[in-house]
Amino acid sequence: MSDSHTDTQSARKKMNGAEALVQSLVREGVDVVFAYPGGASMPMHQALSHEPSIRTILPRHEQGGAFAAEGYGRVTGKVGVCMSTSGPGATNMITPIADAFLDSIPMVAITAQVGSGLIGSSAFQETDVFGMTAPIVKHSYLVTKLEDIPRIIKEAFYIARTGRPGPVVIDIPKNFQEGVFEPDFDAPMDLPGYRPELPVPTEKLDVVLPILMAAKRPAIYAGGGVVISDASEQLLELAERLQIPVATTLMGIGAMPEEHPLSVRWLGMHGAVYANNTVNEADVVLAIGARFDDRVTGAVKTFCEHARIIHIDYDAAELNKNKKVELAIRADAGAALKYLNARLAEAGVERRAYAVENRPEWFGIIEQWKKDYPLCYEQRDHEIAPQAVIEELYRQMNGRDAVICTGVGQHQMFAAQFYRFNQPRRLSTSGGLGSMGYGLPAAMGAHVAYPHLPVINIDGDGSFLMNVQELATISTEHMPIKTIILDNQHLGMVVQWEDLKYDSHRANTFLADASAQYDPTHHTPELLYPNYPVLCAGFGIKCERVVEPAELAPAIRRMLESEEAYVLDVMVPHDVHVLPMIPGGMGYRDVVLERIAGDGKGRKASDLGKEIPSAL
């Protein structure tokens, strides 16, 4: 008997729906599932417990598990998988599903559902997961036929990882998990109209190169689509062949090596002045894999208002959606860049790291901007600047490959500003949704993906507490994840906006005990809330508090040298602002360069007598 015949016979043996689901995951190459059990999902957990090739990690909250799956997908490009029971288990995963949707992260979220006969009856722990997640998924399934399970799993993974990636939800009633049948794992997919492969639009792309080569002040604005397409090397090649400066978005960080002379880092609300100036004062802008979101453009009407804009994006819905452009091209970023580079090679355009003589005036202006408006911060006696923490971490990493995860808030921006990323998928952070609580569980997913790399979560005290329960998972799974908490006892980013708009009036942004008259400048230990060393000890994780600047470097060294999970609670002042800052809805010329005063007016470049010189 042939091996293929034997395989077919074994594939068609009887099993229940949960077992068929798990075997379908095996066939998709799944090696880890973040899953929290409940009454409706017990059959799936029983099946997972008998499958040695899949590591099932028990998070301590479904949101933590789904963020971990998203973190895994974000740093690998592979599909992250999470699972929950029905009702509240499923609803707890909605935030990470929305996060994955906005940032185009491949993820499959499997939710258990009450028995099919009870759907619509308001049964115990019944929720309409299909309906609730419809606006925030790439696709969703409600299993209505036992025999469909293998096909649905195959389709879900294909949809999640192809084209513009995104989350797919599979809702499986409990009776279909328990029903017995002979699964057909070779059942063909049934996806009429879904054709993720795009032809390379050569005729349109042929128009691009003459425009770029004729430009006096060209710039590339690269987004997360470059990372998704694994096109970072192609982007670097194009920049070096044409000698064009490159700015990335927050989601595109690492797509261009940030220490490369053609890099101007990242642009947007808290991006570098020289990045925003370069893109906004260019005469030709190539936007690739980016969507012109408001945190990048500010006042969209004045964004790149004097430039000819070429926009290349996989998703047709993004073309001319937020910003009308001269040339809109639907194409995969990687395929488009590869084609452009091939044409340049054919034309004999050589690749050089940095050739200022190509456009001496333009590069001279950019270099002057870099010199005059660097990313910098105020250093104070006996206080640790949060930016200094990131700089010291980067110094001690000394070029070692690592994955940096963050929560959302000021610490997120400081990490992106003061840590240098020279390859893609090394910063895992929540972009479009801006979800606090992302960092710690995402670090779990990153560690599972890259167990031999250091994984460091940079968090704020507010964001860290939102999924602090995952310290239990980290401890029991023996994950050597490191966390630095930039602890200012406040919701720092909201405080910054209170300074800007509400004359520094604090409205529920102080996280400690208000009745204790806590003085943020003196860090009285008994008043700090919570007591992180005590809290972490309860999870079996080492934590130390850092108060004085002289303590910082040795503490970071101890953390990095530890072979186990480690938390540094670094006390930082609450009145430090993330700068530069372009206030929402304003243009790049309205950038705030100095700390916003408590009068609510803010201090813009023009207010300070430091009007940024223009190239226009």
Q: Name which residue leads in pLDDT, 152 or 516.
A: 152
What the chain holds in terms of domains, given with CATH numbers, is 3-181 (3.40.50.970), 202-372 (3.40.50.1220), 386-571 (3.40.50.970)
Active site residue 124: yes
Nearest to 26 by CA among 5, 44, 52: 52
Active site residue 413: no
Count CB neighbours of 501 within 10 A: 13
Q: Distance (Å, rounded) from C-alpha 115 to C-alpha 175?
A: 5
Mention every residue, 6+ apart, whose C-beta is less than 8 A from residue 109.
66, 69, 81, 82, 83, 84, 93, 96, 97, 133, 167, 168, 169, 170
Q: Which among 28, 62, 237, 383 is annotated as catalytic?
A: 62
Active site residue 396: no
Given a contact cutoff of 8 angstroms between Cβ atoms, the answer to whether 220 and 239 are in contact is yes
253-285: pLDDT as tens digits = 999 999 999 999 999 999 999 999 999 999 999
Least confident of 119-133, 301-315, 347-361, 507-521: 507-521
Given a contact cutoff of 8 angstroms between Cβ atoms, the answer to whether 389 and 572 are in contact is yes
Q: Which long-range contacts (CB under 8 A, 24 or more apart) does 261-264 make?
A: 261/353, 261/354, 262/353, 262/354, 264/366, 264/370
379-415: pLDDT as tens digits = 999 999 999 999 999 999 999 999 999 999 999 999 9
Count CA within 13 A, CB hemisphere, residue 438: 29
Q: Distance (Å, rounded) from C-alpha 477 to C-alpha 38?
A: 21
Active site residue 611: no
Nearest to 239 by CA among 254, 218, 259: 218
Q: Is the pLDDT of residue 444 over 50?
A: yes
Q: Which among 78, 174, 323, 604 is annotated as catalytic?
A: 174
Q: Which among 493, 559, 571, 581 is annotated as catalytic?
A: 493
Q: Which among 42, 46, 51, 125 is annotated as catalytic?
A: 125
DSSP one-letter string for 390-422:
HHHHHHHHTT---EEEE-SSHHHHHHHHHS---
Hey, what amino acid is at 15?
M
pLDDT at residue 354, as a whole number: 87
Q: Distance (Å, rounded) from C-alpha 410 to C-alpha 492?
A: 6
Q: Is the pLDDT of residue 602 over 70?
A: no
Given a contact cutoff of 8 angstroms between Cβ atoms, the answer to whether 215 and 282 are in contact is yes
Q: Is the pLDDT of residue 208 over 60?
A: yes
Respond yes or no on whether the N-terminal peptide bond of residue 165 is cis (omega within 30° of 0): no
Nearest to 427 by CA among 263, 236, 265, 221: 265
Given a contact cutoff of 8 angstroms between Cβ atoms, the answer to whether 312 and 287 are in contact is yes
Mention every residue, 6+ apart, whose C-beta is less than 8 A from residue 526.
none
Q: Which among 9, 14, 124, 501 is annotated as catalytic?
A: 124
Helix (H, G, I), strand (E, B) or coil at 147: helix
340-381: pLDDT as tens digits = 999 999 999 999 998 888 899 999 999 999 999 999 999 999
Query: Cβ-count burial of 381 within 10 angstroms (0-12 exposed, 13-18 middle, 19+ buried)?
Result: exposed
Which pLDDT band holds residue 12 (cuts at 50, 70, 90)? confident
Alpha helices in 162-215 (DSSP H): 174-178, 202-214
Mention every residue, 6+ apart, whose C-beta is less than 8 A from residue 261.
353, 354
Q: Distance (Å, rounded) from C-alpha 179 to C-alpha 30?
A: 23
Active site residue 125: yes
Respond yes or no on whether the N-terminal peptide bond of residue 530 is cis (omega within 30° of 0): yes
pTM: 0.94
Given a contact cutoff of 8 angstroms between Cβ atoms, the answer to whether 610 and 579 are in contact is no
